[in-house]
Amino acid sequence: MGRQDEIKSNELGCPTSYGDSLRTGGTTSVESNDGEKWKEGNLSDGEMLRIVEKVNSEITTIPKEQRREWLIEKFNGYFSSVMPKSLIELFASFFFDGGSGPNIDARPNWLDIDKFRRGQKLALDQWFGISYANLLSLFIVFSFEDGLKPLILTNASSTPYTAFKRYLSTTTRIQNWYSTDPWTPGTKAYNDIRAVRRLHVMTRKKIQEMPLDEYSDKTTLKDAWCPALSRMRRDVESASSVPQTGQCPYTVFNNFPQLKQHKINQGEMSSTQFAFVGIQILHPKFFGMHNVTDEDLEAYCHLWRGLGYLLGIDDDFNFCRGTLEEVRTRSRDFLEYWVKPNFRVVSPEWEHMTRCMVEGLQYYVPGSSYETYLLDLAEITNIHMPRTYNALSYSIWIRHNIVRFCFNHASKLPGVRVFLNRRVIAALEKARNFDEDKHQELKQRSAKTIDSYLQQSKINKPINSWDTFVNAIWMWTAILFFGILLAWQY
């Protein structure tokens, strides 16, 4: 896998001694805060259900201002041997309604506006790398069903065309958040923040009003586009240990959805916030950010702490609260303890939606491939994927290495980062101005892509397309171009 083998587990996951304690198994008898005894590391599904039901029933008797600390104390008693403190705190946020966030009309007392603006500047200066990291992060947050199902329900990203439109809209808003002041009434960022919050309220209301069976049916895709799912699952199962019961307690909500009370919660919102900061601050050079400092990255976290606050995330559950190192620790733990085990059980809907996202991106920024994202995801999470790697076609292998070349080497050269930023921004601007004929063309292309897969899958033949040839020509041209740049540098 090349560079994947150079990324050590103790750089990406938990501290080695803690990680080893998880893999060795064993049980420890502990007494919870209410006197009940549980065997940590060996909890049955029934015991997990009892824990969550008990907490769910008791939390309403606790004063609102004391509930967070009460939950954390409870969960420390139940899960401290199989889950780090950062995730125990995050798990507590799953018991709080997503509509219970702060009043955003008043600036929080922790806001440092100069630091916030420094974070905005970094985001704009590193637009190309951060945008790629954001896309890759969606593979991570979509692995959690509760983060994916609302997208399926709204039918906003379930085809390449609708994914293209949604990503274009989202990217436009994020550009506004990075380039204008969201704290000042009347700015684009200020208005966009309010629009997103209204959208969240509407989605939350739609989910709550829908019967559980209907919600489950409408968030299940009948014909999912998932040719690589089985192969990827086998790779992940071979490369990562089975999680201990209690290590991923959020899964009890998937097994017993009635406990979730059928609503979007603070935990889901905070976990989604990870997509904009987690792998970016853990591995900035992986995304071509070779000259950024820790002070820059801390300012970037402060930017997203502020944006998370404005989007309705309670201060106590904001993923970006604390120092840079605290956010990095939270991000490492999130990847190691929750994300990697979660990849063992990703659904057909996960691959379908992520494929639509990548295919939609090709409509205006061609060059990468779905397998490129999978392989980069494998490197970031330190998951060895030999089956996925060996299944690459020659053209996709070229694409993957061009992407890596851009981030690892070309972006070090003067002007290249600026050129790549401008190229992506220009492509976005062009896409925003597509006329109706172009949109009809993309709709037809989107439908043809899905239909082609469904037809080909029935006869088990690979899909060939003219696009593959065109992209291969583009990639060889890029190899020559960046080869000349690299030779000039050295």
State pLDDT tens for residues 441-487. Answer: 999 999 999 888 888 766 554 444 444 455 555 556 656 665 665 55
pTM of the model: 0.85
Average pLDDT over residues 195-222: 87
Residue 56 has a pLDDT of 84
Residue 464 has a pLDDT of 44
Residue 37 has a pLDDT of 43
Residues near 303 by Cβ (< 8 Å), separated by ≥ 6? Answer: 116, 119, 120, 122, 123, 178
Residue pointed to by tokens 């909500």: 253
DSSP output for 81-94: TTS-HHHHHHHHGG
Residue 114 has a pLDDT of 97
pLDDT at 17 over 80: no
Residue 227 has a pLDDT of 92
DSSP output for 148-211: HHHHHHHTSSSSHHHHHHHHHHHHHHHHHHHHS-TTSTTSHHHHHHHHHHHHHHHHHHHHHHS-
Number of Cβ within a 10 Å radius of residue 303 = 25
Which of 31-40, 100-109, 116-125, 315-324 is predicted with the least confidence, judged by mean pLDDT?
Answer: 31-40
pLDDT band at 302 (very low <50, low <70, confident <90, very high): very high
Which of 94-108, 304-318, 415-429, 456-470 is predicted with the least confidence, judged by mean pLDDT?
Answer: 456-470
Average pLDDT over residues 186-204: 91
Rounded to a whole number of angstroms, the CA Rg of the chain reads: 23
- The answer to whether 140 and 275 have CB atoms below 8 angstroms apart is yes
Arithmetic mean of pLDDT over the chain: 84
Which of 18-32, 90-104, 182-196, 268-282 is predicted with the least confidence, judged by mean pLDDT?
Answer: 18-32
Average pLDDT over residues 374-387: 93
Residue pointed to by tokens 């494998």: 378
Average pLDDT over residues 269-276: 94
